Structure 1
Amino acid sequence: MSKGPISTFIQEHYLHFNSAALVDAAKGYETHLLEGGKMMITLAGAMSTAELGKSLAEMIRQDKVQIISCTGANLEEDIMNLVAHSHYKRVPHYRDLSPQDEWDLLENHYNRVTDTCIPEEEAFRRLQKHLYKVWNDADSTGERYFPHEFMYKMLLSKELEQYYEIDPKNSWMLAAAEKNLPIIVPGWEDSTMGNIFASYCIKGQFKPTTMKSGIEYMMWLSDWYVKNSEGKGVGFFQIGGGIAGDFPICVVPMLYQDMEMENIPFWSYFCQISDSTTSYGSYSGAVPNEKITWGKLDIHTPKFIVESDATIVVPLIFAYLLGW
């Protein structure tokens, strides 16, 4: 693939330290795909609110990612940005906010994520209204789905099109729904929509079992991994730390140790983009070699770590992979 100006720039100027690691990771990702490998991308933090969809959606459309693991927040916040973008409030001086300033944001129904405030009414409640319908339809007929499948149903119904406030090609969830891309959402209940669903269950309106669980996600992922790890195998591109990465990477040692599948391949590429540095007991900041001892990576697995801000690094890596 011919490379555009962004790719040319980083190859010419990103020659040392974290910048060189960025280029090495991008080239390793590209090689993995060219040799027939598949890739999992894991999304932690607030990458959807950071509008990673501007590049991730095209990665999905061009088949440069085969499966995603993300937090419940990233699952919902991409759609919130799709339907309520103009109502978001940016606070560039967020470091100077006093407790009273923060309280005033709450009173005005803004929830702050660093320098960006998500509008409650236009984002959370707008989604809640439409998700209630797909949740209720399933609950009343005894059907059960995963959290991301409910989101796909809502998006593919086109009921949200009336609210679109960004170019839909920049929504990674819409791109994923249109491809029916597999998504793993560990700990989904730790999200706004997860909390809302729980509240309906507490009120007796829905059955908790209408929503498929994290255990079922792990069971599904184990089956997917067995079917997709032949040949070059499956790579692991981890954005941030936390459960979005911790949960799916464990499928390999589970299959090997607990299911006694002694020939199951290790993850065949690993990269982590994180500003979490190695420290006492930090898993998010652990160097890739530590994962060898847990049976997740092989000695020969290509391993990369870029200790930097994912909102800067990841769009550049994706731009390289897309030839921009």
Structure 2
Amino acid sequence: MESNKPISSFIEKHYLHFNSATLVDAAKAYKEHIESGKKMMITLAGAMSTAELGISLAEMIRQDKVQIISCTGANLEEDLMNLVAHNHYKRVPHYRDLTPQQEWELLQSGLNRVTDTCIPEEEAFRRLQSHLFDVWKEAQDKGERYFPHEYMYKMLRSGVLEQYYQIDPKNSWMIAAAEKNLPIVVPGWEDSTMGNIFASYCITGELKPSIVKSGVEYMMFLADWYTNNAGTEGVGFFQIGGGIAGDFPICVVPMLHQDLERTGIPFWSYFCQISDSTTSYGSYSGAVPNEKITWGKLNIDTPKFIIESDATIVAPLIFAYVLGW
């Protein structure tokens, strides 16, 4: 085993069949895609930030192994929650055995459970809330409008959160992204804790909904970004989970072709999905990659991989391989 690449060497030796073999194939193809000069999008569904994917994803960002991210509003904010409140999180290894009464007691203690991990409301949500309100209000007073992720970048760059840091900042993918001004697309941002909080300020009249740019504007941005960055061979698509984080951005290619009638726009040039969703009737998350050919998203010869497994196990291994660990 190569001492300087222990993880890569291990998976090449042991991961030879079934989902594990697909993991290796997908990782090798990802590495080849980047080394050939093409760009890659990573999409984050589920609770990957709470699962602390930032430990490996931040390094992927720093080493230019990903050029754009699409994520849910939850993943956008939960990386920052982990950054400022990590010591107050509570693990519940026996979560499968909890009664409704015990779940209620967690709520009464200000703990919101995500599988085996409880996010502390006061230290996580409320700690961010006042500082986010400040950047929202400043934009409103100046007559400015920004995307959801841009407000979070502003908050990070201001340094107001540094007093709260409870993890090594190098393990925050949002800090890495802010430092590179990485493009992020956050479809359905209002379906998140900070989105709900923003809506509450709009209901009370303290803020105006118009200061946060919309999902339609994210699609407009993405259309221009893809057109300018796809070259002749296309951008890669690495999808963690399913849902809107993946479905929204992958649709930009058929939109460019069919609705804008732009010629010379290449299909997505690599596709990999990590999901534990089983292939089923009408499911997007469980659809096999070939179905995307019929929607004008992937080409016949696009490298396609689907790894039916737990993304919290698989994604760090693939990232480690791409990083040469």
TM value normalised by structure 1: 0.99
CA shift, 1:140, in A, is 1.3
Partner Cα distance (1:8, 1:2) in 2: 9
Q: Tell me the residue number matched to 2:48.
A: 47
- Equivalence for 1:91: 92
Q: CA deviation at 1:231?
A: 3.6
Q: Could you say which residue in structure 1 is the equivalent of 2:115?
A: 114
Over residues 279-314 of structure 1, what are the superposed CA-to-partner deviations in whole Å (9 max), with x where a residue is unaligned? 011110101000000000000100001000000000
Contact 2:148 2:186 in 1 (8 A): yes
Question: Within the alignment, does 1:206 sit opposite 2:203 as a pair?
Answer: no
Alignment of 1:82-161 (within 5 A): 82-161=83-162
Q: CA RMSD in A?
A: 1.0
The equivalent of 1:5 in structure 2 is: 6
The residue that corresponds to 1:59 in the other structure is 60
Unaligned runs of at least 5 residues, structure 1: none
Separation of aligned partners in 1, 2:105 and 2:265 = 54
SS class of match (2:301): coil
Asked whether the 8 Å contact 2:236–2:269 carries over to 1, the reply is yes
Q: Partners in 2 of 1:290 and 1:231 — Cα distance?
A: 23
1:255 matched to 2:264: no
- Contact persistence 1:268–1:297 (CA under 8 A): yes
For 2:4 and 2:17, how far apart are their aligned partners in 1? 21
CA distance in 2, matches of 1:232, 1:157: 38
Alignment partner, residue 304 of structure 1: 305
- Equivalent-residue separation in structure 2 for 1:253 and 1:121 (angstroms): 43
Structure 2 distance, partners of 1:178, 1:64, is 15
Identity of aligned residues (%): 80
Query: Partners of 1:140 and 1:111 in 2: how far apart?
Result: 34
Task: Please say if residues 35 and 232 of structure 1, whose CA atoms lie closer than 8 Å, have aligned partners that are also in contact.
Answer: no
Q: Matched residues in 2 for 1:4 and 1:74: separation?
A: 29
Shift of 1:261: 1.3
2: CA distance between counterparts of 1:77 and 1:288? 29
Give 1:57's aligned amino acid: A
Contact preservation (8 Å) 2:232, 2:265: no
Using the size of structure 2 for normalisation, the TM-score is 0.99
1:3, CA displacement in angstroms?
Answer: 5.8
When structure 1 is superposed on structure 2, of 130-139 and 255-264 the one drifting more is: 255-264
Q: Show structure 2 runs of 5+ residues with no match.
A: none
Q: Output one character per residue of 1:249-285: Cα deviation in whole Å (capped at 9) or x when no partner.
A: 0000000000011321000000000000100111101
Name the SS for the 1:26 alignment partner: helix
- Offset from partner CA, 1:85-113 (integer Å, 9 cap, x none): 00000000000000000000000000000
Q: 1:42 deviation in Å? A: 0.1
Asked whether 1:267 is paired with 2:244, we answer no
8 Å CA contact 1:36, 1:231 repeated in 2: no
Q: How far did residue 141 of structure 1 move?
A: 1.3
Partner of 2:219: 218
4+ long deviations beyond 2 Å = none
The total of aligned residue pairs comes to 324
Report the 3-state secondary structure (helix = DSSP H, G, I; strand = E; otherwise coil) of the residue aligned with 1:165. Answer: coil
The one-letter code sitting in structure 2 at the alignment partner of 1:168 is P
Give the conservation status (yes or no) of the 8 Å contact 2:31–2:322: yes
